[in-house]
Structure 1
Amino acid sequence: MENKTRRAVLRIYDTHKDKDKILFEHAVLGQLAALDLPFRVPAPVRAADGNIVVELPEKDGKFACLFQYIEGDSPGDEEAGFFGSFGEAAGILSAVLAEVNPGQVPVYRPYYELRQSYPLCSPEAVRGICLNPPQPFKDLEQELALLYEAYEHIAGSLEQLAGLPHQLVHGDLNGSNLLVHSSDRRQVAALLDFEFCTRDVRAMEPAVILSGLVGHAEEQAAVQEFWRGFSGVIRLSGAEIEAIPVLMLLRKADVFLHFVSRYLEGTDEADVLREQTGLLAGDLRQLSASTAQMMDIICSE
């Protein structure tokens, strides 16, 4: 959206109708806006009545917000030159989020509270859909079995993860949630989409990003540059680094349960879950092949 003097981005929240989630996100963004960061973050625009969240009755009660437009480009899937800058930006964000106090209780649960986060995805429901798939997923038995194996693998680690250092985390940093400068695509211009910001394990932040680098055309170089940038700002403990493989699996399992839940509640049709099942199973295969090399890179820096 734009007029003669300014541009803005309209966001309609399609994934939920929970105003408290948006208000928590905006409370965090408000504190970040007061800091002198080397990258930009979304800045909500107030309506004429002073509100920054608007309900849309014509959209079945969904909420919308207007954000200031941020100059920059989304990086291409195969671009790799920005990963050092991305790592540094993620480290800086992690450092400042450790000091942010939005004055509100987070709405989203930490990743390791996987079972509480998705009430429809009881252990029995997940086992049923994965090991005895209903008709729309019969041809994905191998993929679903692989995802169930990952789900079971992390189950015994969830309580242990709760003992790692905690703070606010963005929780969903990846190439689609950042902008690079148009004049220098090696430099991150903005970090976006703080919707899932919550209090969680500190090491979850880099683990989410690392899990998204699996299968990249320049995977090893991307991991090395990212970790060099991140660890130049944040030094994780030995226990946190040791947990990264499980945290990467946890990210994939969480995404899977997110889409299983949307299918079971009728939000998505079967084709959405089918697509995500194939993609996530492919990610798990690549993660299995890549984790040892990734950890060698991380531990050598």
Structure 2
Amino acid sequence: MNDVAIQSESRASAGDVLSSHWTLLPLAEVEALVARIYGLSGSVTRLSSERDETFKFVAATDDAYVLKIANPVEDPASLAFQDGALMHLEATAPDVPVPRLIPTLQGVCGHDLPVAGGAIRKVRLLSYLDGDLLYRLPASSARNHDLGRVLAVLGRGLAGFQGRPPAGKLLWDISHTLDLADLVGHVGGERQPFVRGVLDAFAREIPPVAGSLPHQIIHNDFNPYNILVDATSPLEIAGIIDFGDMVFAPRVNDLAVALAYHLATDDWQDLAGAILRGYSTVTRLEADEVHVLPVLIKARVAMSIIISEWRAASRPDNKDYILRNHHAAWQGLQRLSGLSASDLERFVSSNCEG
């Protein structure tokens, strides 16, 4: 997931899934749970996660899986939406490298686990995608070309998905960038003028054309922590994980999210240009998408700064995790701010022509 996925109160009707606390299940209890629900014996290893309990489960057959046990206040409709997207991709776009849901012994895609207080935690088992997380690898223009291609392939696969996210707004949705205006006061003084400038540009440029942009369900979190690279072919993308931030939005927003994570180095134009060229081999951007993409990229970077500084102030116990992408986001915003709007649009257009 992105720096920190955060929901507004209207989207998380049962409470903020990131602010709630729950008792971690003992590993032995988790292993017994998998055996009872899925008929699989094996061992689990806990993986880091802020939103739920996540484990790698290795069965006695040596097959590996990812086990997710949801936060007690997680919206069941949100999980059903994610499951629907994964099942849609499996049925209609099987070449898209995403996890597959494993059915329970009852043939369903998950299990409701009652816990103390009458709450329910959703248990889901997914296939394990092997590979190296992209953020751990040195940057590569060749790999970024494949990254852009895979993002476009994923977008095409999701375009036919008719599911809709739960009611309410996800703050990590670029479409709702202006909702963050009240949080800008949490941003450090040096960064505030840059962030406010982005919100002003968004207010000028996006509303007039938003309705004309192609809309669909998008992944909305295509960042290097959610992308796996093939260890044997290190220039190829092997997997896409974490569908917890999906929204119905302009499809170009997904490209803006992806590009926002490749701006922090001196060769950012080579890296970002490669993503655009790879994306364009599958999906050609419309003129309005080319025009708004620079503003959307800036908006995503500004969101990262605003939300992470706000969350770090309210969750000092998890500050290091929350701010892990903050420095790169600030560098990226400074680099983008060094170019005029027309220069940025020409950069996007020139890399989408091929």
How many residue pairs are counted as aligned between the two chains? Answer: 284
1:61/1:267 CA distance change after superposition, 3 Å: farther
Residue type at the aligned position of 2:296: L
* Counterpart for residue 162 of structure 1: 210
* Counterpart for residue 17 of structure 1: 74
> How far 1:142 moved relative to its partner?
0.8
Would you say 1:298 and 2:351 are equivalent positions? Answer: yes
Of Structure 1 and Structure 2, the greater helix share is in 1
Would you say 1:249 and 2:298 are equivalent positions? Answer: yes
Of the three residues 22, 31, 36, the one matched with 2:88 is: 31
Would you say 1:73 and 2:132 are equivalent positions? Answer: yes
> For each residue in 1:92-116, what CA deviation from the matched residue of structure 2 results, as whole angstroms up to 9, or x when unmatched?
11122111213x4444555212355
> How far 1:297 moved relative to its partner?
3.9
> For each residue in 1:135-175, what CA deviation from the matched residue of structure 2 results, as whole angstroms up to 9, or x when unmatched?
xxxxx321234323323332333423531221111111122
Of the three residues 152, 155, 159, the one matched with 1:91 is: 152
Of the three residues 38, 52, 61, the one matched with 2:110 is: 52
Q: Within 5 A, what are the aligned runs for 1:106-121?
A: 106-107=166-167, 108-109=169-170, 110-115=173-178, 121=180
1:72/1:54 CA distance change after superposition, 3 Å: farther
CA distance in 1, matches of 2:208, 2:227: 31
What SS does the aligned partner of 1:223 have?
helix
CA distance in 2, matches of 1:58, 1:259: 32
* Counterpart for residue 246 of structure 2: 197
Given that 1:90 and 1:230 are in contact with CA atoms closer than 8 Å, whether structure 2 keeps it comes out as: yes
Identity of aligned residues (%): 21
**TM-score using structure 2 length:** 0.69
Would you say 1:147 and 2:195 are equivalent positions? Answer: yes
1:213/1:144 CA distance change after superposition, 3 Å: same
1:206/1:166 CA distance change after superposition, 3 Å: same
Q: Which moved more, 1:172-181 or 1:45-54?
A: 45-54
Bigger RCO of structures 1 and 2 (CA < 8 A, at least 6 apart): 1
* Counterpart for residue 24 of structure 2: none
Given that 2:263 and 2:331 are in contact with CA atoms closer than 8 Å, whether structure 1 keeps it comes out as: no
CA distance in 1, matches of 2:190, 2:318: 17
- Structure 1, unmatched stretches of 5+, are 131-139
> How far 1:288 moved relative to its partner?
1.9
CA distance in 1, matches of 2:247, 2:84: 12
Given that 1:146 and 1:281 are in contact with CA atoms closer than 8 Å, whether structure 2 keeps it comes out as: no
* Counterpart for residue 4 of structure 1: 60
> For each residue in 1:72-99, what CA deviation from the matched residue of structure 2 results, as whole angstroms up to 9, or x when unmatched?
2223342313112111111111122111
CA distance in 2, matches of 1:9, 1:290: 43
Residue type at the aligned position of 2:348: M
1:270/1:3 CA distance change after superposition, 3 Å: closer
Residue type at the aligned position of 1:246: V
CA distance in 1, matches of 2:248, 2:126: 24
Given that 1:167 and 1:199 are in contact with CA atoms closer than 8 Å, whether structure 2 keeps it comes out as: yes
> For each residue in 1:182-236, what CA deviation from the matched residue of structure 2 results, as whole angstroms up to 9, or x when unmatched?
2111111111111111110111111111121112454233223222221111111
> How far 1:262 moved relative to its partner?
3.7
**TM-score using structure 1 length:** 0.79
What SS does the aligned partner of 2:175 have?
coil
Of the three residues 221, 224, 234, the one matched with 2:270 is: 221
Q: Which moved more, 1:215-224 or 1:67-76?
A: 215-224
Residue type at the aligned position of 1:52: G
- Structure 2, unmatched stretches of 5+, are 1-56
Q: Which moved more, 1:248-257 or 1:228-237?
A: 248-257
Would you say 1:289 and 2:338 are equivalent positions? Answer: yes
> How far 1:68 moved relative to its partner?
1.1
CA distance in 2, matches of 1:143, 1:237: 32
